[in-house]
Amino acid sequence: MGAWAGASLGHSALPFTAAIALAIPSVQGKGERDADLLQVEREGWLLIKAFVNRSYDTGVDYYKSGFRREATWYFQRTLELVPENGALQSFVKLLQDYENPVWKEKGWKTPTEPVEKRFRKEAAAWEEECAKLLMETGKLAAAKPSDACKAKARETFVRVLKLQGGPFEIGPDKRLKAGKAGAIPEPYSSQIVKEELVSVNGKLYFRDGMLKSIRSVDSVSEVRGKRFLVRVEGEPRKAKALADLLDQAYEQYAKVSGGSVQKPLGLFVFADRAGFERYAEAAGQSALAKSAGFSNSSEGFAVTFEQPALEEIAVHEGAHLFHHLAFRSRMPSWYEEGFATYFSFAGSMKFEQGKLETGLPLHPHTLDSLAKDLPPMRDLLEMRAADELAKGSAASHRFYAFSWALFTLLRNTQNADLGGRFRRWESFCLTAGFSGAEREARAAELFTKIFGDSLDALEKAFREWIAKQ
């Protein structure tokens, strides 16, 4: 490995291999450890070391070429394999710092289609190779007799399956197949099938939160479209219609945002609100239990229930899920709702004769109400959808309308100063990979910083724009 690309940021050049080589020896200092497990960790490190360094090198190549989002992706994936590497953690934080002088001097590039296509192909190959190597480390642990190694093996095999995604198959040898990563050895294969998986329409999947919360998976119909996997508690034709709708919606999400998602996105439709609310509570989303639906990106599904406006809700929540998984960077609530309402809310979507149109103006009465009840700009920027939902339908409807208006204005404004500031903020945040509890707050704080004295001009333009709608 070469020296850190981050040396130009004022940090001393630090050979990455030297830093990362401390990962396994440092484990020994954490009190008494199972001897077999320590041996497995050392041998496992030897298996993945070249892959980890290659992953880091690819990130460096993207960094040197000026592609910040792609570089951050590779560095964050490297940290998933060696989370104890403090040097790399620090460097990722530098990439996420807008005040970093290199960000302002370097002029980060937007990938061209060939670069984006190459990145998508490389990212898919990364996940596949990672799964194969983890399978081998799991087998190392499975070959040892200690309970600690058995637990490690099971944990690793489950991780491999989640990387590969479902559906899964049982091979001729009766072992669970993890795609190209190979088959999971016994007794782990049988244990995982029994304890972690469930059959839906004859196919094996992880028993996710939605499937755990319903009384019987026999009621679930599943259809896999080009871009969406749709499960409904009901007839297959309903799932098929929603999959066709969301496949169209995906293309429009991608066109507006410039993002993409490699694996199928999920939609789960509960039979009624009661089932939806049980799931929301179990998933730790009690604040959203009274909503019409929400996106649970940790499980890869948008979730809703049978209701009159099901198609509109599916497109709206599908937009949230797409954005969360395409950019893996949470944004302020007004932006996230603005993006989703752009595709579906109060007239912005039309679906007739199998054709989907989005990005339409809101209903006139919604715009009239909006013009009569505009909050100060700074109040709007601090609002959160969950808080407004708790106040009742009128407050949440008003917030969604405000969000649609601000997002639509900033995307389309002819004001060079406001538009330029918005694009700088949006581009930086969506390529930062903000994660953790502070991610939304960091993006919100940066918006205020970038707009600065122009916030008053933004408020004036916002009010004038709404008055003209």
More confident position, 268 or 12: 268
Domain shared by 27 and 95, yes or no: yes
Gap between the terminal Cα atoms of the chain: 57
Domain shared by 159 and 288, yes or no: no
What share of the chain has pLDDT > 90, as a percent? 58
**pLDDT class of 431 with cuts at 50, 70, 90:** confident
Domain shared by 318 and 378, yes or no: no
How far, CA to CA in Å, does 65 sit from each of 12, 77, 94, 125, 452? 21, 19, 17, 21, 31
pLDDT at 303: 96
Strand-pair partners of 293: 304
Enumerate long-range contacts of 210-218, CB under 8 Å, 24 or more apart.
210/268, 210/270, 210/279, 210/299, 210/301, 210/303, 212/282, 213/275, 213/278, 213/279, 213/282, 214/270, 214/275
Domain shared by 48 and 139, yes or no: yes
Q: Judge whether 76 lies within some domain.
A: yes
Cβ contact 228:250 at 8 Å: yes
Phi and psi at 333, nearest 5°, equal -60, -40
Domain containing 288: what range? 211-326
pLDDT single digits (tens) 114-150:
888 899 899 989 999 999 999 999 999 999 999 999 9
Q: How many domains does the chain fold into?
A: 3
Q: Judge whether 141 lies within some domain.
A: yes
Q: Judge whether 184 lies within some domain.
A: no
Mean pLDDT across the stretch 269-297?
92
Q: Judge whether 191 lies within some domain.
A: no
Neighbouring residues of 125: CB distance < 8 A, sequence distance ≥ 6: none
CATH number for 294: 3.40.30.160
Q: Judge whether 179 lies within some domain.
A: no
pLDDT at 353: 92
Residue (of 275, 291, 281, 262) closest to 232 by Cα position = 275
Q: Judge whether 104 lies within some domain.
A: yes
Domain shared by 142 and 12, yes or no: yes
pLDDT at 355: 96
Domain shared by 423 and 286, yes or no: no
- Residue at which a domain ends, from 134, 166, 198: 166
Domain shared by 24 and 155, yes or no: yes
Low-confidence winner among 13-22, 45-54, 257-266, 353-362 (lowest mean pLDDT): 13-22
Cβ contact 404:359 at 8 Å: no
Q: Judge whether 345 lies within some domain.
A: no
Domain shared by 23 and 151, yes or no: yes
**pLDDT class of 197 with cuts at 50, 70, 90:** very high
Domain shared by 457 and 373, yes or no: yes
- Residue at which a domain ends, from 326, 354, 384: 326
Q: Judge whether 199 lies within some domain.
A: no
**pLDDT class of 106 with cuts at 50, 70, 90:** low
Domain shared by 319 and 368, yes or no: no
Domain shared by 132 and 10, yes or no: yes
Q: How many helices (H) and strands (E) does the chain have?
A: 21, 11
Domain shared by 154 and 42, yes or no: yes
- Residue at which a domain ends, from 326, 355, 377: 326
**pLDDT class of 164 with cuts at 50, 70, 90:** confident
Token pair for 127: 């996940």
pLDDT single digits (tens) 317-330:
999 999 999 988 78
Mean pLDDT across the stretch 328-339?
91
Low-confidence winner among 265-269, 376-380, 438-442 (lowest mean pLDDT): 438-442
pLDDT at 181: 93
Give me the helix-helix angle, 455-468 and 364-372, nearest 10°. 140
What share of the chain has pLDDT > 70, as a percent? 90
pLDDT single digits (tens) 7-51:
232 333 333 443 443 344 444 444 456 889 999 999 999 999 999
pLDDT single digits (tens) 382-429:
999 989 999 998 999 999 999 999 999 999 999 999 999 999 899 888
Given the structure tokens 């490297």, which residue do they identify? 78
